[in-house]
Amino acid sequence: MITIKEIARRAGLSIGTVDRVIHGRGRVSKETENKIKSIIRTTGYKTNIHARNLSLQTTHHFGVIIPFPEQDGSYWDIMRKGIDQAEGELVSFNVHRHYFYFNKYTEASFLSAGKEALSQRMGGLIIAPVLFDASLAFVKSIPPGVPYVYVDSTIPGTAPLAVIGQDSFQSGVCGAKLMRMLVQGSGDIAVLRMLRNNFHINERVRGFSSFFNDTPSIKLHVFDVDGGADDRTFAGNIRSIDSITGNCIGFFVTNAETHRVAKVLNGKGHAKWIVGYDCTWENKRLIEEGAIDFILSQNTREQGYAGVTTLFRHLVLKEPCAAEVHMPIDIVTAENLSYYQ
């Protein structure tokens, strides 16, 4: 591996000049600059990461702006696990994560979390842009030079370092395939839209429905359900949906609140087929008990992990990284449950 010293020797210059060229710090003649750059190109010089970090002696602070861990049925707690794991593996590089939580139901909460992250001068940001307008506004206030990656969702028209997420439409299709295997022949299926105006959830519904487009023997009923309601209200809503349709034998639940639906419908014995989302603790427990049949995992933990490593590769290793990371659509059921978290 060629070093700066060797480049300097070949160019008949000092390492200081080479360093200035590499970092574009100026105070170098055009001619010298070109000479050094050509040597760098032809020799394929790569900066020694250890020497750099030893010399720089910097700590890297990553800001993580996500909803409170317990929201969405503790969905965000899973992501935190992945983030913490990544931080643990990168201690040697002085990488530290700082959480700035927000309430996913109020824009002000998001904005203040973002503001706080910026005021604490994070070197990079991991953002869950679940609130579209607030995210758009906030992202514009991020100083240039501070890279940010999106997890879970994305905001078109912005310039993140990377987008990490899952194809929600296709996951809906996948859910439909599983439901089709459970509900063979003909029957009615309820699709529970757990949030209005949520891109992910709408895409899941769209993907699910598309699968049954040419299947007249299956009838879909789409219902809006307030996933944030208290247990009593929620149970009442689910029960009334069940009684309205009467003969729905399958329920597709479009977010991590699947367990709450399962508890109402399959609380005493298995009565309905249930396909839902996300490997939260509660959902895993209910799969084990047989109350949920399939869970589609967003690989939430891996999303968090990938968010940190992406920032790490960019900020610490200064290496290029993929602009889009598509998480696989994991199918989780009782028989392979224990290997997912």
Partner DNA sequence: AATTTTTGCGTTAACGTTAACGCAACATTC
Partner DNA sequence: GAATGTTGCGTTAACGTTAACGCAAAAATT
Interacting residue ranges for DNA, rule: CB under 7 A: 1, 3-5, 8, 12-17, 19-20, 22-23, 27-32, 45, 47-48, 51-52, 54-57
22 near its own copies, judged by CB under 8 A: no
Instruction: Write down the residue that tokens 């899941």 correspond to.
Output: 204
Instruction: Say how far apart CA 294 and CA 174 lie, in whole Å.
Output: 11
Contact partner at residue 27 from DNA, its own copies, none, CB < 5 to 8 Å by partner kind: DNA
Binding mask 150-189 for its own copies (x = CB under 8 A): -----------------x--xx-xx-xx---xx-x-----
**Minimum distance from residue 331 beta carbon to its own copies (Å):** 4
Other CB atoms within a 10 A radius of the CB of residue 112 amount to: 14
298 near its own copies, judged by CB under 8 A: no
3 state SS of 185 = coil
Instruction: Order the strands of the 248-253 sheet from edge to edge.
Output: 218-224, 187-193, 248-253, 273-277, 294-297, 330-332
Closest C-alpha to 218, from 226, 206, 210: 210
- Cβ proximity to its own copies: between 33 and 84 the closer is 84
Instruction: Say how far apart CA 99 and CA 92 lie, in whole Å.
Output: 20
Binding mask 310-329 for its own copies (x = CB under 8 A): -------x--------xxxx
Query: What tokens does 36 get?
Result: 């050094």
The answer to whether the beta carbons of residues 257 and 282 sit under 8 Å apart is no
286 near its own copies, judged by CB under 8 A: no
Site for its own copies in 60-99 (CB under 8 A): 91-94
Closest C-alpha to 146, from 116, 125, 120: 125
Instruction: Write down the residue that tokens 């307008």 correspond to.
Output: 133
Instruction: Say how far apart CA 154 and CA 235 lie, in whole Å.
Output: 32
Contact partner at residue 317 from its own copies, DNA, none, CB < 5 to 8 Å by partner kind: its own copies
209 near its own copies, judged by CB under 8 A: no
The answer to whether the beta carbons of residues 208 and 176 sit under 8 Å apart is yes
51 near its own copies, judged by CB under 8 A: yes
Contact partner at residue 223 from its own copies, DNA, none, CB < 5 to 8 Å by partner kind: none
Contact partner at residue 339 from DNA, its own copies, none, CB < 5 to 8 Å by partner kind: its own copies
Binding site for its own copies (CB under 8 A): 1, 46, 48-51, 53-54, 91-94, 167, 170-171, 173-174, 176-177, 181-182, 184, 211, 317, 326-331, 333-336, 338-340
